[in-house]
Amino acid sequence: MTFTLPDAVNLARRAHEGQVDKSGNPYIDHPLRVMTRVEGDAEQMAAVLHDVVEDTTVTLDELVELDCPTIVVRAVEALTHFPDEPQSAYLARVAADPIALVVKRADIGDNLSPDRTAQLQPVERERLREKYETALRLLDYYENG
């Protein structure tokens, strides 16, 4: 059985059920928005699944068992920031995977969107802006040398 984009969306919906973002909105809205920012089935699958391993009980092994395409599983692994992992090591891994890199840029774009940041307190908004601008600089550095 082939794992499809609708399968990925359904898995993400189930995995993120009940979760909310910093503004109290359903968390699933974020991966769905990121998915709309990228093109291609593998990219869209990785986008909608980009936080499932990091933020839910879903594992990489489960994705493999579901016959999720290997290229998507690798991208999701690259996009997963593991506990105690330095940000620089995480972003170097993201930059090394072409699908993960496209998805991470879309993820940051969504996280910095005015619609989202307007709902945050000014201190949190500034903290996130600095965090994501630093991440973009590091991604550029790792991608371009």
Q: For residues 28 and 21, what is the distance between their CA atoms, to the nearest angstrom?
A: 9
Which CATH number is 26's domain given?
Answer: 1.10.3210.10
Give the residue ranges of DSSP H helices in 1-145. Answer: 5-15, 29-36, 41-49, 52-55, 60-65, 70-79, 87-96, 98-111, 114-117, 122-144
Span 13-18, average pLDDT: 98
Total number of domains in the chain: 1
Residue 113, CB-side half-sphere exposure with 13 Å CA sphere:
12
What's the pLDDT at 120? 84
User: Which domain covers residue 84, as residue numbers?
Assistant: 5-144
pLDDT digits (tens, 9 = 90+) for 62-84: 999 999 999 999 999 999 999 99
Q: Is it the case that residue 3 has pLDDT exceeding 80? A: yes
Span 93-101, average pLDDT: 97
pLDDT digits (tens, 9 = 90+) for 17-66: 999 988 889 999 999 999 999 999 999 999 999 999 999 999 999 999 99
**1: CB partners within 8 A, 6+ apart:** 67
Span 1-25, average pLDDT: 94
Give residue for tokens 């980009």.
50
What is the model's pTM? 0.94
Cα 10 to chain centroid, rounded: 16
pLDDT digits (tens, 9 = 90+) for 102-122: 999 999 999 999 888 888 889
What's the pLDDT at 123? 93
pLDDT grade, residue 90 (50/70/90)? very high
